[in-house]
Amino acid sequence: MDSLKLGPYEFSSRLILGTGKFSSSKVMLEAIRASGAELVTVALRRFNKAQAEDDLYGPLSGQRGITLMPNTSGAATAREAIRAAHISRELSGSPFVKVEIHPNPHHLMPDPIETWEACRVLAGEGFLVMPYIPADPVLAKRLEEVGCASVMPLGSAIGSGQGLSTAEMLRIIIRESNIPVIVDAGLRAPSEACAAMEMGCAAVLVNSAVAVASDPTAMASAFADAVKAGRRARQAGIMPRSGSAVATSPLTSFLGASS
């Protein structure tokens, strides 16, 4: 089976779904089912049993075949992210944590220094650490060295819908990494998820593109199909680019034989 391996865990789906921005828990759950996603990320602040309308943990925890990956969204420092990870593991029982540290609310870019420090500590404590990072090949390698289960470089800014604007850096990260590379953030259309998989990414994480679609369930299904198609194309071997035209049916020998 062509499974996504993260630490000792294996997943048949290479589409990871975020749970923010959905109009309701019902719509979110329908989209998750349509996507086939088995790994779903949820912010610690949405673990709120006191306010059912703001609680995502309850609806998600009862879903068969779904593994939760709590994230540290909202943390501005390594210390805050580490604390959030500890609380999340207590509440969810999940060994996964998506380390997400973006101190500036205006651009939401991940802080590379604080991210590295949080990942170093959490990986040493046995978490399966999945850091959201800028598309920085040096940082990606340093995070691999401290024991992260994957790296999750951004395709473009969170929620921007600008697609794979970091493609050239992503290619370097993929080439140099010995752990899964998962594109996280900025994807707008299923075609971009397909392109990320054709590039060699192990998986993609999508949230806004599904949650704010006119039909989130149909969009989730479209992303699932795109991820599968991109993975199959990568495995099949995509033809190389050529700087000039290359005839598909050369006629030289045929014409020579008939003259």
Annotated catalytic residues are 98
C-alpha span between 167 and 176 (Å, rounded): 14
Residue 213 Cα distances to 46, 67, 222, 224, angstroms: 21, 24, 11, 15
171: tokens are: 């290619």
- Pick from 109, 127, 251: nearest CA to 186: 109
Q: Please state, in angstroms and as integers, the Cα–Cα distance from residue 250 to each residue in 43, 170, 240, 254, following that order.
A: 58, 37, 18, 8
Residue 161 φ then ψ, to 5°: 65, 25
Contacts of 89 (CB under 8 A, 6+ apart): 70, 95, 97, 127
Residue 43, Ramachandran bin (φ over 0: left; ψ between -120 and 50: alpha; else beta): beta
User: Helix crossing, 25-35 with 216-236: angle to 10°?
Assistant: 20
In angstroms, the Cα distances linking 27 to 32, 33, 96, 211 are: 9, 10, 24, 9
User: Would you give the DSSP letter of residue 181?
Assistant: B
Query: Which residue do the tokens 């990072």 mark?
Result: 133
What letter represents residue 126's amino acid? Answer: G
